[in-house]
Structure 1
């Protein structure tokens, strides 16, 4: 059971790490030049939601890639 707890903790850390990276990257795009910003609160909420979505997708890809690489050992047995 301890292994499941460690895996869950690593998954959460990976999610938060990739969300922070995507938040940092999206802020560098300067989307306010492209979008017409009438309400700054809505713009900030959009940035947060985009970074959560992009961070979740990229961390899910990374976690599945690691899991598939780990499972390649079963192919050789």
Structure 2
């Protein structure tokens, strides 16, 4: 009987602690900025795209698509949610 009671108390504590650390869902429609590690370009349209990419916040899907569209020689796209 004592083991059952201890198990119930322990289980309750685990459930209570797990619910207090629940992580909120990331809003994919929020303002996101995605950038690439593409090399610097001398082409005006590439320069404009790089500037727009680093300053224009879009939904996660649109920001990533824009970065992928203007990737050139990049090997990495990094996205961050803006406040």
TM-score of the superposed pair, with normalisation by structure 1? 0.32
- Which is helix-richer, 1 or 2? 1
TM-score of the superposed pair, with normalisation by structure 2? 0.30
Instruction: Determine which structure has more spread, i.e. the larger CA radius of gyration.
Output: 2
- Which is strand-richer, 1 or 2? 2
